[in-house]
């Protein structure tokens, strides 16, 4: 997974997956992407960065279930205005954590849960019921996709054991475009 360079053909595959046919009108453009990054003190990981700049800043199509939200937006089921979000602060997790069942050996688990929700990631969209997909932009898991729900959080990618797909935005989109179940490790898909 290369967070700094777009692999040859990656944008072509992303365009095909989303079938965006608006001549780039839904893309943010490079100037707006750089302005977003400057405002938030981050550099978006590739290929998401180029996708938002050149292909589309959001889509009614999934992933996730209710479509991809724009880089500066939050899903309809977010629950607040997002004013506590700080993309500069690192996303705190590097392994799955089901906080409903344990405190994760954290001194203040509620504070860490708040950080998972609000630090170091852009929200890609929702599957409904506050089951949101995040792209980590700051911290050790930069470039990885995380599924964050009201009961826990888990990383997406074959290296984490829940899916057969590659990590990162490109792997996540290819997995969805292939019609696979999100957590398909050990299944017949």
pLDDT tens readout for residues 141-173: 999 999 999 999 999 999 999 899 999 999 999
- The pTM for the full model equals 0.93
Q: Is the pLDDT of residue 174 over 80?
A: yes
Q: What is the pLDDT of residue 189?
A: 46
- Predicted confidence (pLDDT) per residue in 11-27, tens digit: 889 988 887 666 667 89
Domains detected in the chain: 10-177 (3.40.1580)
**Portion of the chain with pLDDT greater than 90, in percent:** 66
SS3 state of residue 136: strand
Q: Which residues contact 56 (CB under 8 A, 6 or more apart)?
A: 18, 20, 22, 26, 27, 68
Quote the CA–CA distance of 148 and 39 in Å, as a whole number: 24
CB 105 within 8 A of CB 136: no
Q: What is the pLDDT of residue 83?
A: 87
- Predicted confidence (pLDDT) per residue in 98-116, tens digit: 998 887 788 899 999 999 9
Phi, psi dihedral angles at 34 (to 5 degrees): -65, -35
């Amino acid at each position: 997974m290369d967070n700094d360079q777009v692999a040859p053909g990656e944008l072509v595959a992303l365009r095909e997956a989303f079938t965006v046919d608006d001549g780039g009108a839904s893309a943010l453009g490079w100037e707006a992407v750089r302005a977003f990054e400057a405002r938030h003190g981050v550099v978006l990981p590739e290929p998401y960065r180029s996708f938002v700049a050149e292909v589309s800043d959001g889509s009614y199509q999934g992933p996730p279930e209710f479509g991809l939200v724009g880089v500066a937006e939050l899903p309809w089921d977010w629950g607040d205005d997002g004013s506590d979000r700080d993309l500069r602060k690192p996303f705190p997790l590097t392994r799955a954590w089901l906080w409903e069942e344990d405190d994760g050996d954290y001194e203040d688990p509620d504070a860490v849960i708040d950080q998972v929700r609000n630090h170091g990631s852009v929200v890609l969209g929702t599957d409904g019921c506050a089951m949101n997909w995040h792209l980590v932009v700051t911290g050790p898991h930069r470039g990885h996709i995380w599924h964050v729900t009201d009961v826990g959080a888990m990383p997406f990618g074959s290296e984490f054991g829940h899916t057969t797909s590659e990590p990162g935005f490109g792997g996540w989109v290819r997995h969805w475009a292939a019609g696979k179940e999100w957590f398909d490790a050990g299944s017949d898909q």
